[in-house]
Amino acid sequence: EAGVAQSPRYKIIEKRQSVAFWCNPISGHATLYWYQQILGQGPKLLIQFQNNGVVDDSQLPKDRFSAERLKGVDSTLKIQPAKLEDSAVYLCASSLAGSGTEAFFGQGTRLTVV
Amino acid sequence: TQLLEQSPQFLSIQEGENLTVYCNSSSVFSSLQWYRQEPGEGPVLLVTVVTGGEVKKLKRLTFQFGDARKDSSLHITAAQTGDTGLYLCAGVTWGSQGNLIFGKGTKLSVKP
């Protein structure tokens, strides 16, 4: 069974530029998460989708971050404009049905903002 | 805001030693998950504990969920170099669309 796919693996941009990350979850998984993991810390939930609807985006900095999950499958996370403090690994995860079930993570996208 | 505190933050031990890491919160969770993360990879689920007081064993790893469902511990017996990694606990909040909230993790280094 294919795992969660993310691209790109690495991205370096200058501050104030925009960037987008893509995630393809495991087939059939209804729940999709985007997490931000700053070096040395645990993952911080940015947004959670159930199919194509947003369940929780309370910690998403909506002035610069946006995410969508069209047709309830793939998802994109965008940052515009980027700040230095956005440098982190952005992890996408999916689960079959809600948070109580196992979350499968992708390898993440390491973003460096210079 | 629901927070999960993990301790210690860093742990460096010799191969063959035993260790325990802790995960504490003032909040009650419906269940708690432990993940292990290696550099450059996403976290991988080790176990989910659901019932207060529950103890689960996975080979040399023993997981316990506190009676009040607010805390958990992970005990590793006879650590091996392959146990090296970042151990993360994650609390599942209540509700049909509960969130998965992570602690900051314990970075374990097992030296030969």
Q: What is the CATH number that goes with domain B5-111?
A: 2.60.40.10
Q: Is pLDDT at A75 greater than 70 in this prediction?
A: yes
Tokens 């079959």 belong to A96
CATH superfamily of A5-98: Immunoglobulins (2.60.40.10)
- For residue B1, the model assigns a pLDDT of 58
The shortest C-alpha distance from A83 to chain B (Å) reads 22
Q: What is the pLDDT of residues B28-66, one digit of tens each?
A: 988 899 999 998 899 999 999 999 999 999 999 999 999
SS3 sequence, A8-65? CCEEEECCCCCEEEEEECCCCCCEEEEEEECCCCCCEEEEEEECCEEEECCCCCCCCE
Please give the structure tokens belonging to residue B69: 């469902």
Distance CA A25, CA A33 (A): 9
CA dist B86 to A40, B52, B57, Å?
Answer: 9, 25, 19
Using a CB–CB cutoff of 8 Å, tell me whether A23 touches chain B.
no
**Per-residue model confidence as pLDDT tens digits over A9-66:** 999 999 999 999 999 999 999 999 999 999 888 999 999 999 889 989 999 999 999 9
Domain spans, chain B: 5-111
Tokens at B27, concatenated: 């909040």
Q: Do B97 and A33 touch (CB under 8 A)?
A: no
The distance from CA A102 to its chain's CA centroid, rounded to whole angstroms, is: 17
